[in-house]
Amino acid sequence: MNNVYTKVTDAVNFFEGNDPTELAKQYQTPLYVYNERILRQRCRDLKELVTYPKFVVDYSAKANSNLAFLQIVKSEGLEVDAMSPGEIFLEKQAGFAPEEIFYICNNVSEEEMRYAIDAGVTVSVDSLSQLEQFGRIAPGHPVAVRFNPGVGAGHHEKVVTAGKKTKFGVDPEYIPQVKEILQKYNLKLIGINQHIGSLFMTGEAFVASIARLFEIAAQFKGLKFIDMGGGFGIPYKKEEGEAPLDLKELGAAIDRALYQFAEEYGEQITFRIEPGRYISAECSVILSTVHSVKHNHDKKFVGCDCGFNVLQRPIMYDSYHGVEIYRGSDVPSQKRETVTIVGNICESGDILAKDRELPEIFEGDVLGVLDAGAYGFAMASSYNCRMRPAEILIRENGQVVLTREREELDDLLRHMIPLKEN
């Protein structure tokens, strides 16, 4: 193999001695590749975030809910959050006990809420009307409430989930009404939670939001836990030397706040966080084959099989993902050039990487799309009737295992009911 452009994966020995062009040949592309060692390391980073003893990391499975992935997270001693009955179901399949699952729902039907209650998981509701619904279904039950601390953060307005412009959480102004509903249905408030948004690279907003959340918590007696939410970012522009989130500094600030609140509150309360991206993003690279290289007017386009059905983040949020180049032959790239890398979906917006300066790319090259493990496969679709890709896992000993089969044409027919006559 010719290592044309592999700086980021080399630095962490991502492929553990496997040749990405061989993996592409064997499993075909597009292909999600995961590294178990990196996943485990990210779980451990966050478990050690603070010294406060009653601290739980709930992995937010919406970022990546592959079963093998969840099993690894479970074996690292993390718990999980869930956003849907589907996530609760998969988490149980992966071995999580009901008391290790925190269901944070938003605008759900009675059936969904009942599914979670019957499954024995803790439920958090995020509006007065959903609290009423919970009370009607399960009077006398323990419940949690998600508040909106009024402080948001995130890499794009679509993923800021607190503050004055979002649908999430209960406005703290309604605390008296929350108390009334709790009393009306004899519900026991065992926890409160928040999630201010996704992908912050500095901790100020998070630390400010937990101070606000603690003010809210102080107005309720007998809480067992406070869940501070996720949003811990990762550096997507690694080739440009973007620094990672300073977990030491952030952890120290959070730790101080936890000890102080616990002392004031007077009970050994449990604190939780619910990160998705931090745990899952960096342990995955998508392999994609280049099928055409062309000039169109002033632009050079590299066409590959990683359309936005495979990775939606660039088209959805203008997100940046680093791109590497692996080549099966020894032919060198003679120059660097600016190219736009596009997929095979019939929309002009199907752009994976815009105006990137990279070593010359040839047809047949395999591209590595970096940091794809969070909201990658989880948001993949079968748009244009393309099959969702396979997923493989590189185990800690370098062995490669398949953790999801590539969809086949027959899968497109699943659940479709043709007319008997027309």
Binding site for ligand LLP (CB under 6 A): 60, 62-63, 81, 104, 159, 161, 195, 198-199, 229-232, 274-278, 313, 317, 374-375
The minimum distance between CB 24 and ligand LLP, in angstroms, equals 24
Helix 36-47 vs helix 67-75: crossing angle, to nearest 10? 40
CB atoms within 10 A of CB 305: 21
Nearer residue to ligand LLP within complex by CB, 157 or 396 = 157
The minimum distance between CB 379 and ligand LLP, in angstroms, equals 6
The minimum distance between CB 230 and ligand LLP, in angstroms, equals 3
Burial of 397 per CB tally in 10 Å (0-12, 13-18, 19+): exposed
The minimum distance between CB 30 and ligand LLP, in angstroms, equals 17
Nearer residue to ligand LLP within complex by CB, 74 or 146 = 146
The residue from 105, 283, 306, 346 that is catalytic is: 346
Tokens of 163: 């503050």
CB atoms within 10 A of CB 13: 13
Nearer residue to ligand LLP within complex by CB, 102 or 220 = 102
The minimum distance between CB 273 and ligand LLP, in angstroms, equals 8
Nearer residue to ligand LLP within complex by CB, 122 or 289 = 122
H/E stretch holding 83:
none
DSSP label of 218: T
CA 272, 205, 202 angle in degrees (round to 5)? 95
Strand partners, 389: none
Nearer residue to ligand LLP within complex by CB, 14 or 103 = 103
| Residue 93 to residue 71: CA distance in whole angstroms | 9
Query: Any catalytic annotation for residue 346?
Result: yes
Specify whether the CB–CB gap between 200 and 209 falls below 8 A: no
Reduce the DSSP state of residue 125 to 3 states and report it: strand
> What are φ and ψ of residue 175, in 5° steps?
-55, -40
| Residue 407 to residue 389: CA distance in whole angstroms | 7
CB atoms within 10 A of CB 218: 12
Tokens of 50: 């603070």
Maximum CA extent, the chain: 74
Nearer residue to ligand LLP within complex by CB, 323 or 372 = 372
The minimum distance between CB 157 and ligand LLP, in angstroms, equals 12
Specify whether the CB–CB gap between 100 and 127 falls below 8 A: no
Residue type, 51: T
Give the active site residues: 346
